[in-house]
Chains A and B, each alone.
Chain A
Amino acid sequence: MLNKDYIRVLYINVTDQTVRFENRKDLYHYLGGLGVGIKLFEENMKADLPPLHPEQPVVFANGALNFIYPVITKVPALFVSPLTGELGESYAGLRFGMAMRFSGWDAIVITGKADGPIYLSIKAQGVDFKNGIGIWGLSSEESARILRDLEEGTGKRSIVRIGTAGERQVAFANVVVDTFRHWGRLGLGAVLGSKYIKAIVVHGTESYPIINKSAYAKVYRNMYHKINDTEVMLKYHGLGTAGNVIPLSEIGGLPTKNCQSGSFEEAENISGEAFAEHNLIRKIACSGCPIGCIHIALHRRQFAEPYEYESVHISYDHELVYAFGSMLGLGKREDILGLIERVELDGLDAITSGVVLAWTAEAYEKGLISEKETLTEVRFGDFKGFNEVLGHLCNGTNEFYRALGKGLPHVTAKYGGQEFACAIGGLEMAGYHTGYGNLLGQLVGARHSHLDNAGYALDQQRPPLDDEELVKALLAEEKERNVLNCLTICLFSRKAYDRNSVRECLAAVGMERSDEELDWLGEEIHQIKWRVKEALGYKLDGKDVPERLFDTPSFRGKLDRKRFEKILALWQKIDRENRGGHRPVPDREDLPSGGSPRIDV
């Protein structure tokens, strides 16, 4: 990828513990990251087999510009989601991108299932399949501590691992990356757990010379100053995303108590400002990002008298404060930090966990389930109950908890309460209730994430967008983000990496791309994603948005299901029209658009 005209792909089969590699020239046009990842995923996925089948692949694909420019730090993982049964796509930062960049592998495809617990040690020279029996069953924190001692290369390696939730294949188990970051959503932890892979250590020991130093240094400096010294990323320098809590609550867009309301009376206690003043002790950054948006709180608690305290460092941001705060009616920062600590150690996705807990509390309140199922009292505002539920959820204590561990669509099919199950398109919703843009954005987004197309931000546009403008903006934004996800910029720096900057950055390191080529890439990825989703059985359906989100007024007022379905139909129509009109790229006849890949080994 870097200084080369091909993508170096490492294939790992954990069943028979073999590896092979391919230098794929045909993938070079997909730049890297999401583009390369989705192509490899489409080639290797097995549409007819269940998500946790050993033959299903996990693909990691490094971004074209990862670690080369500031704030380009993410690595996408692609897999079949055990939570939704369709496309699983998740991004993580910290040190994994850097380590992978210098491991010499642009993409890694893992298939198979080991006989028993293992961990992988991936180096430029190959892969060691190491016995993982001693770290299986340990928390995400303890297993990493041991691996830090076992594996060499401090500062240049990345250690990713699952917690016990992943081992037990809870459908929304995550993978912890180094510390504080995760492939959080859609259950990659369960997929690795099903393959008996407890951890992956990537060693970044290789190096690449700079070909054109003056051009590269100049563009780097410009981007560094744009990001550090201008307004474009001010928000992330300061309070971080938790700064959204109060503004969202004020406009009625903060889902509260299982989204029974859009504003939380205790928002001030759990705001970014309150965390910053009382709990924030430091910020840290993903490798290669000068912002440092990972806000770390000190969670101090007394465990005995007299004055016996313990303390832990917990990272927080808006989504976690929403999921474990407003959504559960918890107005104490200590309670939120306690729940975050729990999911961090067990390796559960925080957003899905919070939304699932919120549904449980309401179902309990309404009598759909009782203490017979939950084994404890679960009420909004009661930390103790929620904490116990998380424990049972991770353990799969009884039939109810095993169903709950498969996500809301599954548990509601058995126990009812679909109308207040806050999942959109099968995935538990993110912390915004802003209007049609948010609902539609999460439903039509390829991974049902608010980050697919930023519908929540479009809802806040002034003057408001009409339906057609909204649909077109959602589509355009999603395709542009497809391009940015090939470079793997952190989407927080979206405003800094506009098209001109992207082209300049690519050109300075010898990866020139025209606007037409980038347009083509965004469109092509969109089409592959939908091809993959449909092959895996996904059908877009307006009913995959619960009644609750229409009953509770949003920032844009009360939403009407009929109008929503009309906008959805419009989205489908415009999308279909565009898909037919796939723009070819001038002067580049070698761009593949499907079919069998050319492989140069």
Chain B
Amino acid sequence: MGEEGSKNKIVTKEEGPAVAQKKEGDKKRRPRVLMAPGMNRCIACYSCMLACARMVYRSYSIHKSAIKILTRGGYTSKFVANICRACIDPPCARACCVKALVPREGGGIRYHRDRCIGCRKCAEACVVQVIDFDEEEKKAIICIQCGNCASFCPHECLTMEISPHAEMNKPGGAFPTKELESPSPERRNPNDLIHDGN
């Protein structure tokens, strides 16, 4: 097997897990959510955590990343990704009493960071316990479904997909979105609302 061949093997999806692909007919602007279907391919390079910390939370440190790559008992074990599961009708948003977190079309939340008062109720409410807390700034560290992590994943372990539950999110669905907001007018302030990826 030539070296070129092995490089190609990484980027093709012929073998290994079924990495969900953008399908023909998908509308470009349909909101997508982060998924981690290819974690068996993960090499623990932490590029995703670095991207989240760098692009969203302006930090060099992976503590300020909303995605967490962990081992299940050292490097001989499997790597796992603790990610926001982009709930429809997210409990974190329900728990947020200052509307810093509001449900996002397609799953997950939009995060108005300027409104966050650091009460940690979102973290307590999160069913899969993936909301972290920035002890320095006293604000939540939470996934905004921007897809930066996925774009820096060298093995496509992470992808941005249309949530299988998105249908339920539509008006008339099981969990119609209660509030959808247009982007904050103060969005240009770097400490303010962080853009929502798509």
- Taking the complex as formed, is A290 at the interface, i.e. its CB lies under 8 A from any CB of chain B? yes
Residue count of chain B within 8 Å CB distance of chain A: 37
**Would you call A102 and B61 a contact (CB within 8 A)?**
yes
CB of A216 within 8 A of CB of B54, answer yes
From A68, A180, A216, A287, give the contact of B45 (CB < 8 A). A287
Chain B residues contacting A284 (CB-CB under 8 Å) are: 43-44, 75, 79
Question: Which A residues touch B185, using CB under 8 A?
Answer: none
B44 touches A209 (CB 8 A): no
For B44, list chain A residues within 8 Å (CB): 284-285, 287
Q: Most chain-A Cβ atoms within 10 A of its Cβ — which of B1, B5, B154?
A: B154
Cα A101 to Cα B152 with chains together (Å): 21
CB-CB < 8 A to B45: which residues of A? 285-292
Does A49 reach chain B (CB closer than 8 Å)?
A: no
Interface residues in B1-53 by Cβ distance below 8 A to A read 1-7, 10, 43-47, 50
- The residue of chain A having its C-beta at the shortest distance from the C-beta of B5 within the complex is A238
What residue of chain B has the Cβ atom nearest to residue A315's Cβ?
Answer: B75
Task: Report the Cα distance A284→B154, complex, angstroms.
Answer: 12
- Given A154-B71, A155-B68, A208-B59, the answer on whether A237 and B46 have CB atoms closer than 8 Å is no
Are B154 and A144 in contact, with the CB atoms below 8 A?
A: no
| Contacting pair A70 B47 (CB below 8 A) | yes
> Which residues of chain A from 244 to 294 have any CB-CB distance to chain B below 8 Å in the complex?
273, 276-277, 282-292, 294
Cα-based distance from A179 to B46 in the complex (angstroms): 16
B10 and A237 within 8 A (CB): yes
Is there contact, CB below 8 Å, between B3 and A235?
A: yes
Q: State which of B55, B61, B73 has its C-beta within 8 Å of the C-beta of A208.
A: B61
Once the chains bind, are B47 and A239 in contact (CB under 8 Å)? no
Interface residue ranges of B128-182 to A (CB < 8 Å)? 136, 152, 154-155
Assembly CA distance A288 to B45 (angstroms)? 5
Q: Which residue of A lies closest to B134 (CB)?
A: A207
Is B70 interfacial (CB-CB < 8 Å)? Answer: yes
From B60, B61, B152, A224 is in contact (CB under 8 Å) with B152
Q: Is A553 an interface residue (CB 8 A)?
A: no
User: Are B63 and A102 closer than 8 Å at their CB atoms?
Assistant: yes
Per the 8 Å Cβ criterion, residues 73-129 of A in contact with B are 94, 98, 101-102
Residues of B within 8 A of A313 (CB): 76
B69 on the A face (CB < 8 A): yes
Are A67's CB and B71's CB within 8 A? no
Q: Could you tell me if A210 and B58 are in contact, using CB atoms closer than 8 angstroms?
A: yes
Q: Compute how far the CA of A156 lies from the CA of B64 in the bound complex, rounded to whole angstroms.
A: 12
Is A243 positioned at the interface, with any CB of B under 8 Å from its CB?
Answer: yes
Whether, in the assembled complex, A540 has its beta carbon less than 8 Å from a beta carbon of chain B, the answer is no
| Chain A min CB distance to B34 (Å) | 18
Q: Across the two chains, which residue of chain A brings its CB closest to B42?
A: A284
Docked Cα-Cα span, A517 to B94, in Å, equals 56
Measured CB to CB, the closest approach of chain A to B112, in angstroms, equals 20
Nearest 8 Cβ contacts at the A-B interface: A207-B61, A292-B43, A238-B6, A179-B75, A238-B3, A285-B45, A290-B154, A285-B43
Interface residues of B (CB under 8 A from A): 1-7, 10, 43-47, 50, 54-55, 58-64, 68-71, 73-76, 79, 136, 152, 154-155, 190
Given contacts A148-B73, A207-B64, 18 further A-B contacts (CB under 8 A): A102-B61, A155-B68, A207-B63, A208-B60, A210-B54, A210-B59, A220-B54, A224-B152, A228-B154, A234-B3, A237-B3, A237-B7, A238-B5, A239-B1, A276-B6, A284-B43, A287-B45, A290-B47
